[in-house]
Amino acid sequence: MFQHIEPYAGDPILSLNEAFQKDPRADKVNLSIGIYFDDQGRIPVLGSVRQAEAQMLAEGGTKSYLPIEGAAAMRSAVQSLLFGPEHEALASGRVATLQTVGSSGGLKVGADFLKRWLPGSAVWVSDPTWDNHRAMFEGAGLPVHTYPYYDAGDAASGRPAGGLRFDAMLETLRSLPARNVVLLHACCHNPTGVDLTPAQWQALVPVLRERELLPYLDLAYQGYGDGIDADAHAVRLLAASGLVFFVANSFSKSMSVYGERAGALSVVCGDAAEAERVLGQMKATVRRNYSSPGLHAAGIVSRVLDDTHLRPQWEAEVTAMRERIAGMRRSLHSVLSAKRPGHDFSYFLQQRGMFSYTGLSPAQVDRLREEFGVYLVRSGRMCVAGLNSGNVERTASAMAAVIG
């Protein structure tokens, strides 16, 4: 029956993580997987999350199924977090929000919905993007193409690597047929760390509107860029511009609750009646997929966001995580600049969020792993959140050695 089945090649990032776990070297450094580690190299359980869980345990409650669309308290807390509590789009009821199984669940439910209701559309993702974007949308049966994004620099003209090809990106978007889907990282671009500035977001809006494109925002790192509200800038701008769009958001990183699978999908529609129909068809998509999302995830998220004590505590915890990463960026930059004075490492300071594109070649990445036990993705992506005061110097020295 199954003789013809091909072996699964594995997910490159998760496979690298497994290889790291098996590596016996005591001073190995894991900068591959997109997870926030604290200065002791542990994945923190936030105090605000622990307290929310303690409250839930003390209160008892049932273990019944949630509705298909998730818990009402979580869905409204997500809406206020994304759009701000007073937003016109919320007041007019034109946002359809579902709690989903992580934001991956949201992205996939949205992809299945698009395949069903906008079947002729193609999806455009940044070059490069998170590998799973392509896999998810192609898996849903939609064609996936790329638009220019990361600037790898140009040795001949002396243009440094590490920027955004914004003009080329706009030019491509201006050439797309109506109703094509444009996947955009709302902040902390994965894998490059290169984001649009507020002025560039502003310049993007008329192009999306004139070409009748459908933006699909992925907000997986809210709070890791400039702050919780600042990182929702793109969501609020698009909503204020009257565009119809999707946004999948995650709490995996912002609440450090990876395994709880806490996320949501929101669709900003033209009016409340459209939002109701969209929500209904999204529910149909979920029902024939995983049926309903998790109860525990909903309890954590709604309590942390709505409780007057837990909310400020969580915001302070997010600030501390963001600032620790920024400190690691500064340390890496200063050690590398001292060791390799001819090189420009300023991209470490400009790029935002958990990731930086280092520009290291696959051969240099292999050398880092084999000789020094420093694990990066072969594209040269580094998870800066894996650095700490105990490993940053050694990592910078190893990088300086392979840069040569």
Ligand X SMILES: Cc1ncc(COP(=O)(O)O)c(C=O)c1O
**What residues line the site for ligand X (CB under 6 A)?**
34, 102-104, 130, 190, 218, 220, 250, 252, 263
The Cβ-side half-sphere exposure at 341, using a 13 Å CA radius, reads: 1
Collect all residues with Cβ–Cβ distance below 8 Å to 222 and sequence separation of at least 6.
Answer: 81, 186, 187, 228, 231, 232, 249, 250, 254
Shortest reach from residue 107's CB to ligand X, in Å: 6
Shortest reach from residue 278's CB to ligand X, in Å: 21
Report the SS3 class of residue 161. coil
Which one, 17 or 80, has the nearer CB to ligand X?
Answer: 17
Which one, 14 or 273, has the nearer CB to ligand X?
Answer: 14
First-to-last C-alpha distance (Å) of the chain: 53
Radius of gyration of the chain (CA): 21
- Enumerate the active-site residues: 130, 218, 253
Rounded CA gap, 214 and 183, in Å? 9
Rounded CA gap, 204 and 163, in Å? 17
DSSP string, 16-71: HHHHHHH---TT-EE-SSS----TTS--PPPHHHHHHHHHHHHH----PPPPTT--
Which one, 43 or 273, has the nearer CB to ligand X?
Answer: 43
Counting every residue written for the chain, the total comes to: 404
Which one, 336 or 383, has the nearer CB to ligand X?
Answer: 383
Shortest reach from residue 263's CB to ligand X, in Å: 4
Which one, 263 or 386, has the nearer CB to ligand X?
Answer: 263
Q: Which two tokens stand for residue 357?
A: 């594109």
**Phi, psi (deg, nearest 5) at residue 340:** -130, 75
Which one, 336 or 382, has the nearer CB to ligand X?
Answer: 382
Which one, 220 or 278, has the nearer CB to ligand X?
Answer: 220
The Cβ-side half-sphere exposure at 9, using a 13 Å CA radius, reads: 3
Which one, 282 or 383, has the nearer CB to ligand X?
Answer: 383
Rounded CA gap, 283 and 292, in Å? 9
Q: At what angle do helices 272-287 and 102-117 cross, to 10 degrees?
A: 110
Shortest reach from residue 221's CB to ligand X, in Å: 7
* Of 111, 158, 168, the residue nearest 134 (C-alpha): 111
Shortest reach from residue 34's CB to ligand X, in Å: 4
Rounded CA gap, 383 and 389, in Å? 15
Cβ atoms 147, 126 nearer than 8 A:
yes
Shortest reach from residue 106's CB to ligand X, in Å: 8
Shortest reach from residue 248's CB to ligand X, in Å: 7
Shortest reach from residue 321's CB to ligand X, in Å: 15
Residue 100 pairs with which residues in a beta bridge?
A: 263
Q: Which two tokens stand for residue 25?
A: 């070297």
For 234-259, give one letter per residue: b (16+ CB within 10 A) or e: bbebbbebebbbbbbbbbbbbbbbbe
